[in-house]
Structure 1
Amino acid sequence: MPDIDTDVCYERRGEMIDYVVRKYGADRVAQIITFGTMAARAAIRDVGRALSLPYGDVDKVAKLVPAELHVTIEKALNDAPELKELYDQKEEVKKLIDTAAALEGMPRHASTHAAGIVITPEPLTNYVPLYKASDGPVTTQFAMGTVEELGLLKMDLLGLRTLTVISDAVRLIAESTGENLDIDKIPLDDPPTYELLCRGETAGVFQLESSGMRSILRDLKPELFEDIVALVALYRPGPLGSGMVEDFTKNKHGIKKTKYLHPKLEPILRDTYGVILYQEQVMRISSELAGFSLGEADLLRRAMGKKKPEIIASLRSQFVEGAKNNGVDVEIAGQIFDLMEYFAGYGFNKSHSAAYAMVSYQTAYLKANYAQQYMAALLTSVKDNADKVSAYIEECRRLGIEVLPPDVNESRESFSVAGNKIRFGLAAVKNVGLGAVESIIRAREQDGPFNDYADFCRRLDTKVVNRRVLESLIKCGAFDSLGYRRAQLMASVDSGLGLAQQSQRERENGQLSLLDFLGDSREAVSITLPEVGEFPVSELLAMEKETLGLYISGHPLSQYRDALNTLCTATAAELAEMPDDSEVVLGGLITGVKKTSTRKGDPMAILTLEDLTGTVEVVFYPRPYNQYRLVIKPDEVVVVKGKSRENGDDTKVIGDEISTLESYLEGELHLKIESAASPLLDQVQLILSSYQGSSPVFLHFASEKKVIKAGEDFWVDLTGPVIARLEDLLGRAMVKVKRKTTVSPRAAVVKTVNGTAGDYGSLTGQPRQKGQVGRQTKKSGSFFSILEL
């Protein structure tokens, strides 16, 4: 039986299963078991416990196994010299590893398959044995493969988070605008959507948010829904490595003329610009050119896809003979078959690609047309992943959408839309459980917004809103809109709790206080807050990080945003999408340093580097650590060069170089301008004066064939957006920065436009023409430092 795959809203998957159970009967529907197997490290630890070996010794051996996906003990012995050394030298370690290797891969525990359910025409017990864990559903004792071999109907009901995001976004659109959007009836030719795709601004867009996919989008520039279908099929290791993507893009844009081996191929391959991309195309070519039945065409597709040479060889002669009977030249028919065989190995199921492309388009449409609502729904979907939340909040900032901190009077449980902004949800605050959130929202809905801090304390339920909850709400800024300083409220936690407990006792005893006879008691209750100054900004940000897992009202790196965007080739959020061993440049704040040593005793360090999108681990082995150890310290803003390395489910960086951002950005700015009379000079002067700093500026005038140094009032801060502004005005090729880390400004030799070199004096930096002697004067406030000869 073929299995049936259905992706459903993640939060409603249980409803789907309940429906199937009701429809076919509880005795005929079960979920499918899956077995967790013993991986290399787990096998070593389990055997160590069974042999009663000291935990520390076993843990040391287990940690020598590389933390890579699907690594085996055999591979670890080949790749990890220290593990092999222990194995050869210590008998107890050899016994431990040999025993673990024998058990590796064996089932360790049973759990429930993430998607699969089985449906039988008669009671399940007539077909499969069943299993019931104490706290789990009824499952089969047979795993998925065996269930399929028995010929039973298997369905995959997979909870897809993106469908939940779309559903939440549509709900938020209705709540915030009153518009009832039918996501299944949106236009498939929406210009803003295709403009967003062509710009590659697809962070948060289903299937299209990886850095590699964004690069292809910018090259491909999709114009039709069919282009998106093709893109989903193309972005896989096979097509990427085979050159199919480049052929597809060049043919689409007419850079390369699309050629067809036979006119009958054109209607089949026109939508994919001559590239055999889909499995259905292989079947259609076989049917229309060679007269294959649909069954024979499917047999050929499967044989080509699974590279079964004996079946392919037997069908080749049938294809060539059938094509010949349809008027196709024998040689051309052979070439077409060879082409099919080459591409079929990379072929993708078009119906699958089209379904995913529709979800991709829907999410892109929502982001392009309802950015606030879509990003709020997206943030809700990842609220338990601080790095993802950080990355998407940074994307909101790029889109010009402000993300506000939690607020006791406005926040819902999850992220919500507040005008043209997004409001943080209360459930995302650490130490504030769902019960406390529901209590706060219920009190607000019953009696209106909280007037002040005292009113909040009087109305809260102390069974769920305790000291930890109150302190967390204060630290994250949830009371800021009421006009208080967080330092005042932190000093008044005891007073607030005292009032809350008193009010709770009165409610439970059914008593009416004197205040209840005075009308609106909320106006009468008050707490005197101490007159204390606010916490320093750094402390406020630290409180937000503590309670929200990220910075929300600001970030220690905010002032360096433009510089980091210019210098870095990847962010922490993008690392996981990059191929292993990619060369990367990262920038961020060192939030932790763990100094350790190799087994030989050589010092090394493991850093936690945080940028605007998340955190990443950076490892500095002894050689680079010794070279850069003075830079490696907490709270330093740095630029790191290194290589990405897969580390289980995470990606770390092996650091080669590190320097402070400040020293990296110190240098000289060189601008190439046609002449001193250029009309652009006024705009250049305006931009330079807007970003004053300590980095010298040199102007290269092409027609005059000279280089002139700008006055100090026009020196710039290279950490700001000055470079981007000048590149927009003059062009990227006309703007160059010479960094202090690679070229010393005092010893710099700059070529003038005619190819001769001007000697820059070690103190003043003024150009001196060969054979001329003169004195230099500085005119403060003038655009140029004038050289008087």
Structure 2
Amino acid sequence: MGFTHLHLHSEYSLLDGACRMKPLVCAAKELGQTSLAVTDHGSMFGIIEFYKEAKAQGIRPIIGCEVYVAARSRFDKVHGVDNERYHLVLLAENDEGYRNLIKIVSDAWTQGFYTKPRVDKELLAAHNEGIIALSACLAGEIPRALSAGDYDAAKRLALQYQDIFGKGNFFIEIQNHGIGEELRVLPLLKRLSMDTGIELVATNDTHYIRREDAKIQQILICIQTNHVLGEDTGMEFETDEFYLKSEEEMRSLFADVPQAVENTQKIAERCNVEIEFGNTKLPNFDVPNGQDHFEYFAECCRKGLIKRYGENPPPEYAERLEYELDVIRRMGYTDYFLIVHDFVDYAKKHDIPVGPGRGSGAGSIAAYCIGITGIDPMKYNLLFERFLNPERVSMPDFDIDFCYERRSEVIDYVISKYGSDHVSQIVTFGTLAPKAAVRDVGRVMGLPYATVDAVAKLIPFELNNTFEKALNHSPELKERYESDETVRELIDNAIKIEGMPRHASKHAAGVVITRDPVKEYVPLALSDDFVVAQYTMTALEELGLLKMDFLGLKTLTVIDDAQKAVRETQPEFDIETIPLDDEDTYRQFTVGQTYGIFQFESAGMRSVLMRLKPQVLEDLIAVIALYRPGPMESIDTYIKNRKHPENTTYKTEKLRDIL
């Protein structure tokens, strides 16, 4: 018949689950299992990653969540009274169930949060369509009643949950991890099934993939609770049975109730959710006088062309604009440009400093003409196709800088225009990078601070660093790893949790704007009292939602303050009229006097400037382009060729005009 894991915690249970998505799905496939659920604690953070990985490997993804049920109402938040909560597993049976699960989880955070995101039975009943529910582990409301010796209460609760979700949509969950209390309650759960007619379902409360990974789970729990291995964390797992078990193991555990195992597969076969990717879902934008959106946009761009380039712009500029307009129209991004232009225009009209634009968006003459960017793409021969072309599958992305002190005013404007329930900030995850992992694991192992600190300091500072890179690049670290058993154990343990999400927080710049309320598309959470979408920026883009970066840049604030100071004595001063060929300014760059100048103030960058001795703006553009991982290796070659262009060579003559 088969078996499917319906109760499972991934790494997105945040320090309470050690299942990484790709190895998890691979392991299920190796066990011959054809479907798999992820039911993280109170959240859906990892659902998109899980869904895509499962689909890629031919495994049916079952979308779920182990929610916390409030003892009273989700709105009751009295200390000492409402601290108690119960677990309940919810699975999305179909697309409607997925949407309802999103709403339940969102409201648990935005309405019911009290130490944990909490639902109540009223919320469950309001969004019960397409949801299959399981009574959960020992922390479930029914097992708790049985543990307290109140069988009648457990029976009443079981029937109540069946009423909420409907007959055949609620199951009594049984588990056996060899825990004493579990073994005591297990026969009572079986009796409860007989007395109520509610079917049983067998699960393993999976927190890690293999039995030997039990120590990883212990380490994560100790990091979360600030304990040392061996101490009572209050969340201790009494056995090492919380791993991804095979069908044979589960059938052996529940040999007397084989139907409970078979029900897992029956439930899995009922669960069919299709998440739509790539279909753009832009919010509605109101155009003046009900004018056609594209006609209005094109009219604004053509007026901007004359404003930027004069009454008789070069024909090739006009042709470029018409080409871009055609691509934008055909790809359906007219409203995208109008939305971005609207909030940039708002900022400018309210004297909020706005950057000239950065990234590939600066290559659009349409963006330049309408006022989104302030960089002439024709002057610098920038390519529109890097930003938008018919073969691009993801939405284009303007990176807009605002004064960091007034950035929030622009976001407030967007919220007021589209509605607070249509705008949300976005989650991001702090991960266990090598240095942090070593320090966390060292503390958990109870090692002396000096030992852990010494090892952490041997790990090089490097973007996207890994233990593999660190061991290859640091001979001293490798020597200690190979010669010192304690250091080896420390690093081996740290490697096992490397890259796992440690905590969720609010992305510094990302905002999602939606046509319908955000929780119609993605689950919401709270981060420092801010509402955030639970899916990452990348996932939101893949879902076709409008994600914008409202970047706060202190340099814009500094420049604005400086301009105001100058205007006290020179009222006519305008920063836009400053010449870009000022010799004194370039002289400062050639001697490395660039402290406090955005992107030019690091010691490494100042060293490059002193070697290159820039003389024109294009030199500064080249330095910024080169000073990043990858191109950085070509800096010496560039400087040599910049000073002696006659020595420049090309792999093919076709590159000469391009480079």
Q: TM-score range by the shorter chain?
A: 0.3 to 0.5
Higher strand share goes to which structure? 1
Q: Compare CA radii of gyration and give the structure with the larger one.
A: 1
If the length of structure 1 is used for normalisation, what is the TM-score? 0.29
If the length of structure 2 is used for normalisation, what is the TM-score? 0.34
> Higher RCO, 1 or 2 (CA under 8 Å, sep at least 6)?
2
